[in-house]
Amino acid sequence: MGNEKYAILPCNGMDKEAGALARETALRLSARQAGEIVCPVLYHRSAKKYGKLLESSPLLVIDGCRTACASNLAKESGARITRRLNITDYLKGRGIKPGKSLELSTELLDETHRILEELLETDSEEGKAAIAADFTAPLEYETFTQDKYIFRVPRQGFLFNENDCWARVDGTRARIGISDFVQNSASDFLFFEPPQVGAAIEQFGEAGSLESTKTALDIISPFSGTVVAVNAELAEAPETINGDPYEKGWAVELELADFEGERELLMDCPSYLGYLKKKVEREFHKKERE
Amino acid sequence: MGVPRDKIDWCPEIDYDKCDYCMECDEFCPHRVFERRDGEERKLVVANPTNCVVFCRACGKTCGPDALSFPDKKETTALIKKLREELVQDG
Protein backbone atom coordinates (compact mmCIF):
# COMPACT_ATOMS: atom_id res chain seq x y z
CA MET A 1 0.00 0.00 0.00
CA GLY A 2 2.66 2.47 1.02
CA ASN A 3 1.72 6.06 0.24
CA GLU A 4 -1.16 5.47 -2.14
CA LYS A 5 -4.30 7.48 -1.56
CA TYR A 6 -7.36 5.53 -0.68
CA ALA A 7 -10.85 5.73 -2.02
CA ILE A 8 -12.72 5.59 1.29
CA LEU A 9 -16.13 3.96 1.64
CA PRO A 10 -17.47 4.51 5.16
CA CYS A 11 -20.64 3.59 7.00
CA ASN A 12 -23.02 6.49 6.46
CA GLY A 13 -23.06 7.07 10.21
CA MET A 14 -26.78 7.62 10.66
CA ASP A 15 -27.67 4.62 12.81
CA LYS A 16 -25.44 4.58 15.86
CA GLU A 17 -22.33 6.00 17.48
CA ALA A 18 -19.82 3.54 15.98
CA GLY A 19 -21.15 4.45 12.53
CA ALA A 20 -20.85 8.15 13.27
CA LEU A 21 -17.22 7.54 14.24
CA ALA A 22 -16.65 5.59 11.01
CA ARG A 23 -17.93 8.60 9.07
CA GLU A 24 -15.81 11.04 11.07
CA THR A 25 -12.70 8.88 10.61
CA ALA A 26 -13.30 8.73 6.86
CA LEU A 27 -13.66 12.50 6.60
CA ARG A 28 -10.48 13.15 8.55
CA LEU A 29 -8.48 10.57 6.62
CA SER A 30 -9.74 12.02 3.38
CA ALA A 31 -8.65 15.50 4.44
CA ARG A 32 -5.25 14.24 5.53
CA GLN A 33 -4.52 12.14 2.44
CA ALA A 34 -6.54 14.16 -0.05
CA GLY A 35 -8.25 10.82 -0.70
CA GLU A 36 -11.79 10.63 -2.06
CA ILE A 37 -14.87 9.62 -0.12
CA VAL A 38 -17.26 7.13 -1.69
CA CYS A 39 -20.73 8.13 -0.45
CA PRO A 40 -22.44 4.85 0.48
CA VAL A 41 -25.90 6.07 -0.43
CA LEU A 42 -24.91 7.40 -3.83
CA TYR A 43 -22.76 4.31 -4.43
CA HIS A 44 -25.75 2.12 -3.68
CA ARG A 45 -27.89 4.16 -6.08
CA SER A 46 -25.30 4.34 -8.83
CA ALA A 47 -22.08 2.31 -8.51
CA LYS A 48 -21.01 3.55 -11.95
CA LYS A 49 -20.49 7.01 -10.48
CA TYR A 50 -17.38 5.73 -8.73
CA GLY A 51 -16.19 3.32 -11.42
CA LYS A 52 -13.09 5.25 -12.46
CA LEU A 53 -12.09 6.11 -8.92
CA LEU A 54 -12.31 2.48 -7.80
CA GLU A 55 -10.32 1.31 -10.79
CA SER A 56 -7.48 3.68 -10.03
CA SER A 57 -7.39 3.80 -6.22
CA PRO A 58 -7.18 1.14 -3.50
CA LEU A 59 -10.44 0.90 -1.58
CA LEU A 60 -10.53 1.33 2.18
CA VAL A 61 -13.85 0.39 3.77
CA ILE A 62 -14.68 1.70 7.25
CA ASP A 63 -17.59 -0.15 8.85
CA GLY A 64 -19.27 1.10 11.98
CA CYS A 65 -20.63 -2.15 13.41
CA ARG A 66 -20.54 -5.82 12.55
CA THR A 67 -23.51 -5.61 10.27
CA ALA A 68 -20.80 -4.26 7.98
CA CYS A 69 -23.14 -2.52 5.53
CA ALA A 70 -20.29 -0.70 3.79
CA SER A 71 -18.30 -3.92 3.23
CA ASN A 72 -21.38 -5.74 2.01
CA LEU A 73 -22.22 -2.87 -0.31
CA ALA A 74 -18.72 -3.00 -1.80
CA LYS A 75 -18.93 -6.76 -2.24
CA GLU A 76 -22.38 -6.64 -3.82
CA SER A 77 -21.12 -4.03 -6.26
CA GLY A 78 -18.12 -6.20 -7.16
CA ALA A 79 -15.53 -3.77 -5.80
CA ARG A 80 -12.22 -5.11 -4.55
CA ILE A 81 -11.57 -4.11 -0.94
CA THR A 82 -7.90 -3.43 -0.28
CA ARG A 83 -8.18 -2.58 3.38
CA ARG A 84 -10.92 -2.64 5.95
CA LEU A 85 -11.50 -1.25 9.39
CA ASN A 86 -14.36 -2.08 11.73
CA ILE A 87 -14.85 0.65 14.31
CA THR A 88 -16.76 -1.55 16.78
CA ASP A 89 -13.97 -4.16 16.77
CA TYR A 90 -11.36 -1.43 17.08
CA LEU A 91 -13.13 0.16 20.05
CA LYS A 92 -13.60 -3.25 21.67
CA GLY A 93 -9.83 -3.69 21.54
CA ARG A 94 -9.50 -0.33 23.30
CA GLY A 95 -12.05 -1.29 25.97
CA ILE A 96 -14.61 1.25 24.73
CA LYS A 97 -18.25 0.37 24.17
CA PRO A 98 -19.96 2.69 21.70
CA GLY A 99 -23.57 3.70 22.32
CA LYS A 100 -26.54 4.87 20.31
CA SER A 101 -25.90 8.63 20.18
CA LEU A 102 -25.04 10.08 16.80
CA GLU A 103 -23.27 13.01 18.45
CA LEU A 104 -19.73 11.91 19.12
CA SER A 105 -18.40 12.27 22.64
CA THR A 106 -15.04 13.95 23.21
CA GLU A 107 -13.63 10.53 24.13
CA LEU A 108 -14.61 9.08 20.77
CA LEU A 109 -13.48 12.13 18.83
CA ASP A 110 -10.07 11.67 20.45
CA GLU A 111 -10.05 8.09 19.15
CA THR A 112 -10.09 9.31 15.54
CA HIS A 113 -6.51 10.60 15.93
CA ARG A 114 -5.39 7.24 17.25
CA ILE A 115 -7.21 5.33 14.52
CA LEU A 116 -5.64 7.47 11.79
CA GLU A 117 -2.15 7.11 13.24
CA GLU A 118 -2.55 3.33 13.45
CA LEU A 119 -3.94 3.10 9.92
CA LEU A 120 -1.11 5.09 8.37
CA GLU A 121 1.56 3.44 10.50
CA THR A 122 0.37 -0.05 9.53
CA ASP A 123 0.51 0.95 5.89
CA SER A 124 4.18 1.81 6.16
CA GLU A 125 4.88 -1.42 8.10
CA GLU A 126 3.12 -3.49 5.46
CA GLY A 127 5.28 -1.85 2.87
CA LYS A 128 8.32 -3.13 4.71
CA ALA A 129 6.91 -6.56 5.43
CA ALA A 130 8.77 -8.50 2.77
CA ILE A 131 11.16 -9.97 5.31
CA ALA A 132 9.85 -13.51 5.11
CA ALA A 133 12.28 -16.37 5.66
CA ASP A 134 12.94 -18.93 2.94
CA PHE A 135 10.02 -21.31 2.52
CA THR A 136 10.57 -22.06 -1.15
CA ALA A 137 11.44 -25.77 -1.12
CA PRO A 138 9.10 -27.51 -3.61
CA LEU A 139 6.30 -29.60 -2.13
CA GLU A 140 4.87 -32.98 -3.00
CA TYR A 141 1.18 -33.58 -2.45
CA GLU A 142 -1.27 -36.38 -1.69
CA THR A 143 -4.43 -35.85 -3.70
CA PHE A 144 -7.99 -37.12 -3.58
CA THR A 145 -11.16 -36.08 -5.34
CA GLN A 146 -14.81 -35.83 -4.39
CA ASP A 147 -17.22 -35.00 -7.22
CA LYS A 148 -15.70 -32.03 -9.06
CA TYR A 149 -13.45 -31.04 -6.17
CA ILE A 150 -9.78 -31.92 -5.88
CA PHE A 151 -8.19 -31.88 -2.43
CA ARG A 152 -4.46 -31.70 -1.90
CA VAL A 153 -2.46 -32.15 1.28
CA PRO A 154 1.34 -31.80 1.39
CA ARG A 155 3.09 -35.12 2.07
CA GLN A 156 5.27 -33.73 4.84
CA GLY A 157 6.56 -30.67 6.65
CA PHE A 158 3.18 -29.22 7.66
CA LEU A 159 1.11 -29.32 10.84
CA PHE A 160 -2.66 -28.75 10.86
CA ASN A 161 -5.38 -27.89 13.36
CA GLU A 162 -9.00 -29.02 13.19
CA ASN A 163 -9.93 -25.59 11.87
CA ASP A 164 -8.25 -26.57 8.58
CA CYS A 165 -5.37 -24.14 8.98
CA TRP A 166 -1.76 -25.17 8.50
CA ALA A 167 1.69 -24.23 9.74
CA ARG A 168 4.87 -24.83 7.74
CA VAL A 169 7.69 -24.69 10.23
CA ASP A 170 11.28 -23.73 9.48
CA GLY A 171 13.47 -23.38 12.58
CA THR A 172 11.83 -20.91 14.92
CA ARG A 173 9.51 -19.56 12.25
CA ALA A 174 6.32 -20.81 10.68
CA ARG A 175 4.14 -19.74 7.84
CA ILE A 176 0.42 -20.01 8.44
CA GLY A 177 -2.35 -20.54 5.91
CA ILE A 178 -5.56 -22.38 5.13
CA SER A 179 -6.03 -25.81 3.60
CA ASP A 180 -7.51 -26.87 0.30
CA PHE A 181 -10.70 -27.83 2.13
CA VAL A 182 -11.34 -24.25 3.19
CA GLN A 183 -10.58 -22.75 -0.18
CA ASN A 184 -12.81 -25.32 -1.92
CA SER A 185 -15.67 -24.67 0.52
CA ALA A 186 -15.34 -20.91 0.54
CA SER A 187 -15.00 -20.39 -3.21
CA ASP A 188 -13.13 -17.35 -4.59
CA PHE A 189 -11.53 -15.14 -1.97
CA LEU A 190 -12.13 -11.42 -2.34
CA PHE A 191 -10.43 -9.97 0.69
CA PHE A 192 -7.64 -10.78 3.13
CA GLU A 193 -7.37 -8.75 6.31
CA PRO A 194 -3.94 -9.46 7.81
CA PRO A 195 -2.93 -9.04 11.43
CA GLN A 196 -0.48 -6.26 12.22
CA VAL A 197 3.20 -7.04 11.86
CA GLY A 198 4.52 -7.21 15.43
CA ALA A 199 1.22 -8.44 16.89
CA ALA A 200 1.29 -11.33 19.36
CA ILE A 201 -1.00 -14.21 18.38
CA GLU A 202 -2.17 -16.96 20.75
CA GLN A 203 -2.38 -20.61 19.75
CA PHE A 204 -5.83 -21.00 18.16
CA GLY A 205 -6.15 -17.22 18.08
CA GLU A 206 -6.98 -15.23 14.96
CA ALA A 207 -4.18 -14.69 12.46
CA GLY A 208 -6.14 -12.53 10.05
CA SER A 209 -9.43 -13.08 8.28
CA LEU A 210 -10.69 -13.86 4.81
CA GLU A 211 -13.82 -13.14 2.87
CA SER A 212 -14.98 -14.97 -0.20
CA THR A 213 -17.96 -14.77 -2.50
CA LYS A 214 -19.69 -17.20 -0.13
CA THR A 215 -18.45 -16.59 3.39
CA ALA A 216 -16.21 -14.88 5.93
CA LEU A 217 -13.77 -16.75 8.14
CA ASP A 218 -10.85 -16.31 10.49
CA ILE A 219 -7.49 -17.92 10.03
CA ILE A 220 -7.06 -19.85 13.29
CA SER A 221 -3.38 -19.96 14.07
CA PRO A 222 -1.98 -23.44 14.82
CA PHE A 223 0.79 -21.85 16.89
CA SER A 224 1.31 -18.86 19.11
CA GLY A 225 3.96 -16.32 18.18
CA THR A 226 4.74 -12.86 16.92
CA VAL A 227 3.77 -11.79 13.42
CA VAL A 228 6.99 -11.08 11.53
CA ALA A 229 5.54 -10.87 8.01
CA VAL A 230 2.26 -10.97 6.15
CA ASN A 231 1.80 -11.98 2.54
CA ALA A 232 1.47 -8.59 0.85
CA GLU A 233 0.50 -10.24 -2.46
CA LEU A 234 -2.81 -11.30 -0.97
CA ALA A 235 -3.92 -7.68 -0.62
CA GLU A 236 -3.84 -7.33 -4.41
CA ALA A 237 -4.70 -10.91 -5.32
CA PRO A 238 -6.47 -12.82 -2.52
CA GLU A 239 -7.58 -15.42 -5.08
CA THR A 240 -3.95 -16.66 -4.98
CA ILE A 241 -5.11 -18.71 -1.98
CA ASN A 242 -7.61 -20.56 -4.15
CA GLY A 243 -4.98 -21.49 -6.72
CA ASP A 244 -2.14 -22.32 -4.36
CA PRO A 245 -3.19 -22.44 -0.69
CA TYR A 246 -0.02 -24.09 0.65
CA GLU A 247 2.73 -22.12 -1.09
CA LYS A 248 2.05 -18.77 -2.76
CA GLY A 249 -1.18 -18.47 -0.77
CA TRP A 250 0.46 -18.38 2.67
CA ALA A 251 -1.04 -15.69 4.88
CA VAL A 252 1.14 -14.90 7.88
CA GLU A 253 4.64 -15.66 9.11
CA LEU A 254 5.23 -16.09 12.84
CA GLU A 255 8.25 -16.17 15.10
CA LEU A 256 7.15 -19.12 17.20
CA ALA A 257 6.73 -18.84 20.96
CA ASP A 258 6.42 -22.48 22.07
CA PHE A 259 6.74 -24.96 19.22
CA GLU A 260 7.33 -28.06 21.34
CA GLY A 261 4.60 -27.27 23.85
CA GLU A 262 1.99 -26.56 21.20
CA ARG A 263 2.59 -29.13 18.47
CA GLU A 264 0.93 -31.95 20.45
CA LEU A 265 -2.49 -30.45 19.69
CA LEU A 266 -1.86 -30.47 15.94
CA MET A 267 -2.02 -33.13 13.23
CA ASP A 268 0.82 -34.12 10.93
CA CYS A 269 0.20 -34.53 7.19
CA PRO A 270 -1.00 -38.19 7.14
CA SER A 271 -3.28 -37.56 10.15
CA TYR A 272 -4.77 -34.46 8.54
CA LEU A 273 -5.28 -36.31 5.26
CA GLY A 274 -7.37 -38.92 7.13
CA TYR A 275 -9.26 -36.23 9.04
CA LEU A 276 -9.95 -34.33 5.82
CA LYS A 277 -11.20 -37.37 3.91
CA LYS A 278 -13.72 -38.12 6.66
CA LYS A 279 -14.80 -34.49 6.81
CA VAL A 280 -15.26 -34.25 3.04
CA GLU A 281 -17.30 -37.48 2.99
CA ARG A 282 -19.50 -36.15 5.80
CA GLU A 283 -20.06 -32.80 4.06
CA PHE A 284 -20.95 -34.39 0.75
CA HIS A 285 -23.32 -36.92 2.33
CA LYS A 286 -24.99 -34.05 4.16
CA LYS A 287 -25.46 -32.19 0.87
CA GLU A 288 -26.87 -35.30 -0.77
CA ARG A 289 -29.43 -35.67 2.04
CA GLU A 290 -30.45 -32.04 1.58
CA MET B 1 -7.57 -32.88 19.51
CA GLY B 2 -7.27 -36.48 20.77
CA VAL B 3 -10.07 -35.89 23.28
CA PRO B 4 -13.78 -36.80 22.93
CA ARG B 5 -15.60 -33.73 21.62
CA ASP B 6 -18.22 -33.83 24.35
CA LYS B 7 -15.51 -33.29 26.96
CA ILE B 8 -14.56 -29.95 25.42
CA ASP B 9 -16.82 -27.11 26.42
CA TRP B 10 -16.63 -24.98 23.28
CA CYS B 11 -19.64 -23.41 21.60
CA PRO B 12 -21.21 -19.97 21.24
CA GLU B 13 -23.34 -18.52 24.03
CA ILE B 14 -26.23 -16.27 23.05
CA ASP B 15 -26.79 -13.11 25.08
CA TYR B 16 -30.56 -12.85 24.82
CA ASP B 17 -30.53 -9.24 26.02
CA LYS B 18 -28.62 -8.34 22.86
CA CYS B 19 -29.84 -10.88 20.27
CA ASP B 20 -32.28 -9.38 17.78
CA TYR B 21 -33.01 -12.74 16.06
CA CYS B 22 -31.67 -11.61 12.72
CA MET B 23 -30.58 -15.29 12.26
CA GLU B 24 -27.36 -14.30 10.44
CA CYS B 25 -25.36 -16.70 12.65
CA ASP B 26 -27.70 -19.60 11.90
CA GLU B 27 -27.59 -18.87 8.19
CA PHE B 28 -23.80 -18.74 8.32
CA CYS B 29 -23.00 -21.85 10.40
CA PRO B 30 -22.70 -24.98 8.23
CA HIS B 31 -22.61 -27.28 11.27
CA ARG B 32 -26.17 -26.76 12.50
CA VAL B 33 -25.06 -25.57 15.92
CA PHE B 34 -28.11 -23.30 16.20
CA GLU B 35 -31.78 -24.13 15.88
CA ARG B 36 -34.68 -21.79 15.31
CA ARG B 37 -37.68 -22.02 17.63
CA ASP B 38 -40.51 -20.22 15.93
CA GLY B 39 -43.28 -19.19 18.28
CA GLU B 40 -41.09 -19.39 21.38
CA GLU B 41 -39.71 -16.44 23.33
CA ARG B 42 -36.15 -17.52 22.54
CA LYS B 43 -36.44 -17.92 18.81
CA LEU B 44 -32.86 -19.19 18.46
CA VAL B 45 -30.99 -21.64 20.67
CA VAL B 46 -27.62 -23.43 20.71
CA ALA B 47 -29.12 -26.86 20.11
CA ASN B 48 -26.04 -28.84 19.03
CA PRO B 49 -23.04 -27.48 20.96
CA THR B 50 -20.79 -30.42 20.12
CA ASN B 51 -21.25 -29.74 16.40
CA CYS B 52 -19.31 -26.50 16.91
CA VAL B 53 -15.72 -26.76 15.65
CA VAL B 54 -13.44 -26.18 18.62
CA PHE B 55 -11.86 -22.68 18.43
CA CYS B 56 -14.10 -21.58 15.55
CA ARG B 57 -15.65 -18.18 16.26
CA ALA B 58 -16.81 -17.36 12.77
CA CYS B 59 -20.52 -16.99 13.58
CA GLY B 60 -19.62 -14.28 16.10
CA LYS B 61 -18.30 -12.18 13.24
CA THR B 62 -21.69 -12.16 11.59
CA CYS B 63 -23.44 -10.86 14.70
CA GLY B 64 -24.37 -7.18 14.37
CA PRO B 65 -25.45 -6.71 18.02
CA ASP B 66 -22.40 -8.65 19.32
CA ALA B 67 -24.61 -11.14 21.15
CA LEU B 68 -22.38 -14.22 20.77
CA SER B 69 -19.51 -15.05 23.08
CA PHE B 70 -17.13 -17.99 23.35
CA PRO B 71 -15.12 -19.66 26.12
CA ASP B 72 -11.60 -18.50 26.91
CA LYS B 73 -9.12 -19.96 24.38
CA LYS B 74 -6.27 -20.41 26.83
CA GLU B 75 -8.46 -22.17 29.39
CA THR B 76 -9.85 -24.45 26.70
CA THR B 77 -6.36 -25.27 25.42
CA ALA B 78 -5.18 -26.03 28.96
CA LEU B 79 -8.21 -28.27 29.54
CA ILE B 80 -7.57 -30.22 26.33
CA LYS B 81 -3.93 -30.77 27.29
CA LYS B 82 -4.97 -31.94 30.75
CA LEU B 83 -7.56 -34.35 29.33
CA ARG B 84 -5.00 -35.74 26.90
CA GLU B 85 -2.57 -36.39 29.74
CA GLU B 86 -5.28 -38.16 31.73
CA LEU B 87 -6.15 -40.33 28.73
CA VAL B 88 -2.48 -41.31 28.30
CA GLN B 89 -2.20 -42.13 32.02
CA ASP B 90 -5.37 -44.20 31.92
CA GLY B 91 -3.80 -46.09 29.04
pLDDT tens, position by position, A72-124: 898 888 887 788 888 988 888 888 888 888 998 888 888 888 888 888 776 65
Chain-chain contact of B61 with A65 (C-beta, under 8 angstroms): no
Chain-chain contact of A209 with B53 (C-beta, under 8 angstroms): no
Domain assignment present for residue A132? The answer is no
User: Chain-wide mean pLDDT for chain A?
Assistant: 87
In terms of Cα–Cα distance, which of B27, B36, B39 is closest to B63? B27
What pLDDT shows up at residue B23? 95
Instruction: Spell out which residues of chain B touch residue A206, defining contact as CB-CB under 8 Å.
Output: 57
CA distances from A131 to A231, B15, B68 (A): 10, 43, 37
Q: For residues A70 and A254, what is the distance between their CA atoms, to the nearest angstrom? A: 31
Q: Is the pLDDT confidence value at A130 over 50?
A: no
Region A138-165: mean pLDDT is 91
- b/e per residue, A163-175, with b = 16+ CB within 10 A? bbbbbbbeeebbb
pTM to 2 decimal places: 0.69
B interface with A, Cβ–Cβ < 8 A, is 1-2, 28, 30, 53-58, 61-64, 66, 73-74, 76-77, 80-81, 84
Instruction: Spell out which residues of chain B touch residue A88, defining contact as CB-CB under 8 Å.
Output: 66
Both A30 and A123 in one domain: the answer is: yes
Q: Is the pLDDT confidence value at A268 over 50?
A: yes
Both A80 and A170 in one domain: the answer is: no
Region B2-25: mean pLDDT is 94
Q: For residues A190 and A235, what is the distance between their CA atoms, to the nearest angstrom? A: 9
Both A12 and A85 in one domain: the answer is: yes
Residue B56 host element (H or E)? none
What pLDDT shows up at residue B31? 87
Instruction: Spell out which residues of chain A touch residue B61, defining contact as CB-CB under 8 Å.
Output: 66, 209, 216, 218
Residue B66 one-letter amino acid = D
Domain that holds residue A222: 141-289
Q: For residues A150 and A137, what is the distance between their CA atoms, to the nearest angstrom? A: 23
- Torsion-angle region of residue A74: left (phi > 0), alpha (psi -120 to 50) or beta? alpha
Domain assignment present for residue A167? The answer is yes
Q: Which of A27-31, A220-224, A280-284 has the lowest mean pLDDT?
A: A280-284
Region A251-276: mean pLDDT is 92
Who among B1, B57, B76 is closest to A162 (CB)? Answer: B1
Both A148 and A208 in one domain: the answer is: yes
Instruction: Spell out which residues of chain B touch residue A203, defining contact as CB-CB under 8 Å.
Output: 73, 77
Q: For residues A127 and A129, what is the distance between their CA atoms, to the nearest angstrom? A: 6
Please say which residue of A69, A104, A127 terminates a domain: A127
**A35 three-state secondary structure:** coil
Both A146 and A51 in one domain: the answer is: no
CA angle A101, A111, A94 (to 5 degrees): 95
Report the gap between the CA of B73 and the closest CA in chain A (Å). 7
* Nearest-by-CA chain B residue for A67: B64
Chain-chain contact of B62 with A162 (C-beta, under 8 angstroms): no
Domain assignment present for residue A134? The answer is no
DSSP state, residue A95 = T
Both A104 and A63 in one domain: the answer is: yes
Q: Is the pLDDT confidence value at B78 over 50?
A: yes
Tell me the pLDDT tens digit for each residue of A208-262. 999 888 788 899 999 999 999 999 999 889 999 999 999 999 999 999 999 988 9
CATH of the domain at A198: 2.40.50.100
Q: Is the pLDDT confidence value at A288 over 80?
A: no
Domain assignment present for residue A41? The answer is yes
Residue A209 at interface with chain B, using a CB cutoff of 8 Å:
yes
Give the pLDDT band (50/70/90) at residue A198.
very high
Structural domains counted in chain A: 2
What pLDDT shows up at residue A160? 96
Domain assignment present for residue A1? The answer is no
Please say which residue of A83, A99, A127 terminates a domain: A127
Domain assignment present for residue A109? The answer is yes
Both A95 and A199 in one domain: the answer is: no
Q: How many CB atoms lie within 10 A of CB A93?
A: 8
Torsion of CA A228, A233, A238, A242, to 10 degrees: -90
What pLDDT shows up at residue A2? 47
Optimal mutation site among B8, B24, B54, B61, interface A, most CBs of chain A within 10 A: B61
ipTM of the predicted structure?
0.82
Report the gap between the CA of B64 and the closest CA in chain A (Å). 4
Both A11 and A114 in one domain: the answer is: yes
Both A122 and A198 in one domain: the answer is: no
Q: Which CATH architecture has domain B5-90?
A: 2-Layer Sandwich (3.30)
